[in-house]
Structure 1
């Protein structure tokens, strides 16, 4: 079972992505990109140039990936090693994401930090970043000038892509910290990227680096000009600064919810109750309105919730669709945010719209029958057809009466119904219910032949 990405998504990640999508021109750019872009290009490059790791090729690193994917509930992506002295890792693709790490990364970081890097990259997959990341890397590079949709790329879109990619790194860092069950490995990784190569003699001091990160945040956040300088200097960067990432992950890990997420992510989802007594819904109540009730129920059950009640509403609203969720409450709380947690045995009520079934309708109307057409629809039809239809509906007390109408007019027709009554009622709607023993009287026209 995949972990709900809302557990990890940083608020700046979500806000930046929404802002990116809202820029005029983004939608046509995305459509154009999807027409020309192909994962096969990456497969060709990786398979022909880089070293594919696996059970029989540097298995030490490949085997680090498998337990991470198990925790996050994602498929194990292909893993490649690239000859490059620059310490780096990245994830690309779409339907079949892959991870690339460089030889420089293995030379810079000790082996115990490689799982942290791999968990970070898997975090991009779990948070559904990969397609937009791939698109952003191309759009923000010089290669965009060679592509047919290059004229659709504006500076605001490039800046917004860069900003979102920087913000998305915070979310991926959270995934890594959760998999490590501590922020310290992420912080140490940032410290080493900042300059502490594994071959440097001496011990690393994480506390000193965090003090440096705190000092930097105070310097930039406390002065408008410093903040402006930061933006000017780094607006084209795809990653936040090392100190900023260390500060962000350290602050997030101080929240009690971090420990909850750690326990939840690292628990056996098949026996969830043995590990924790609270679960994350992962989505706000507002976002659940309009979803399919059956899919939502299955989703909540997969999370581990046990006490789910379905409340069916048969009155159809103007824009309601079959099976649509109208409201959801948890322990009588009908509004909640995407970061709230609830007890496993919390009472969940899902209210949804669905038309009554035939069986339900019949059960509500014992010894009754439905009239198949309204009185207005019956008027003007041939009485023989009407009588047949009424009897097929189950009515047995059906009476027909010929009514002489005199001279035939231009638009008059013989044997057409001009009045039908059911127990004396002359006005009724289609599918109105009547007692089985009701008397149905059909009066029809006949005219003089001369």
Structure 2
């Protein structure tokens, strides 16, 4: 990692804590995930058996590391996020040829950020900064251990030639991951000081073409229509769509972000009123009504994961060892990042 020296004097969110922007769904999902017995042991086993190293090598094999001598402007957009969030270290940034507009961070101990070439082609500078801020927020929030484990499990699901005993664990991690995305969209808005830039980014990535001709107001109206219109069958269909992806659907993310902005927290934090990293945890904030709203859903969704780990420890260990060689041999194109 390299120390950041981006010019952000007067613009830095000094000592900001990820709790300042944490979405209540993220808070509830993280608590539910922590309640699964032995989950940390399973996740750390994935790392210790070399899966993370294989994932890293597979990701970097055809990538170019950026810096002052390689795509300097893109590198500085990346640096800007870490300076603004008051993070001392800036992860290495790599670009790789891939036709899917995406970026993601991997690595539990020493994270790196990979960005696909299509994303650089598609987005302008403010939108790039929104993407890099989103990834920086994942790192500052310490999402990387579980996040890397999920990427490993997604790859194992696609490549392993034996029955997978970890599907409930993967499902639980995907529930958690979708919740963390809502938090990091908020952080992205704070870093860019422009929530609409984040919305434009989500719109551009969703469309994938002719982004300069897209109308953001129409997309915002679409997000409200998606959330509020339709009967029970349509709402059930939306839920099933959510359950099958690593990220909440872009129209939902847009709506969630703008609701938060309208509630006033964005302006309050930009004005300097926010939770610092050393501040005591507020029990009221951690267990408020909004968190309670999501808690039952996550507890139910994560119950099967706990039972799987508790009942099949030895089977799980044997399966991981047998499947170890599979992860590095395939690139399944899974939508792992932003």
**Same fold by TM (over 0.5)?**
yes
Where does structure 1 differ by over 6 angstroms across 4 or more consecutive aligned residues?
A: none
Structure 1 or 2: more strand by fraction: 1
1:238 match = 246
Pick aligned residue for 2:202 from 181, 184, 190: 190
Pick aligned residue for 2:224 from 214, 219, 222: 214
Q: Secondary structure at the match of 1:80?
A: strand
Question: 1:241, CA displacement in angstroms?
Answer: 0.7
Pick aligned residue for 1:71 from 84, 107, 114: 84
* Rg larger for: 1
Q: Secondary structure at the match of 1:254?
A: helix
Q: When the two structures are superposed, what TM-score results if normalisation uses the length of structure 2?
A: 0.72
2:319 match = none
Whole-Å separation in 2 of the counterparts to 1:260 and 1:214 = 24
The answer as to 2:33 corresponding to 1:20 is yes
- Stretches of structure 2 that go unaligned for 5 or more consecutive residues are 1-13, 289-338
Whole-Å separation in 2 of the counterparts to 1:42 and 1:165 = 18
Question: 1:130, CA displacement in angstroms?
Answer: 1.4
Q: Secondary structure at the match of 1:81?
A: strand
Q: When the two structures are superposed, what TM-score results if normalisation uses the length of structure 1?
A: 0.55
Whole-Å separation in 2 of the counterparts to 1:145 and 1:171 = 31
1:291 match = none
Structure 1 or 2: more helix by fraction: 2
1:447 match = none
| Alpha-carbon RMSD | 2.9
2:193 match = 181
The answer as to 2:19 corresponding to 1:6 is yes
1:141 match = 155
Question: 1:224, CA displacement in angstroms?
Answer: 4.0
Aligned length: 274
The answer as to 2:275 corresponding to 1:280 is yes
Question: 1:110, CA displacement in angstroms?
Answer: 2.3
Contact 1:123 1:172 in 2 (8 A): yes
2:331 match = none
Classify 1:27/1:56 alpha carbon distance in 2 versus 1 (closer, same or farther; 3 Å): closer
Higher relative contact order (CA 8 A, sep 6+): 2
Q: Secondary structure at the match of 1:212?
A: helix
Classify 1:64/1:141 alpha carbon distance in 2 versus 1 (closer, same or farther; 3 Å): same
- Stretches of structure 1 that go unaligned for 5 or more consecutive residues are 265-277, 289-334, 341-450
Pick aligned residue for 2:215 from 205, 210, 214: 205
1:166 match = 178
Contact 2:94 2:115 in 1 (8 A): yes
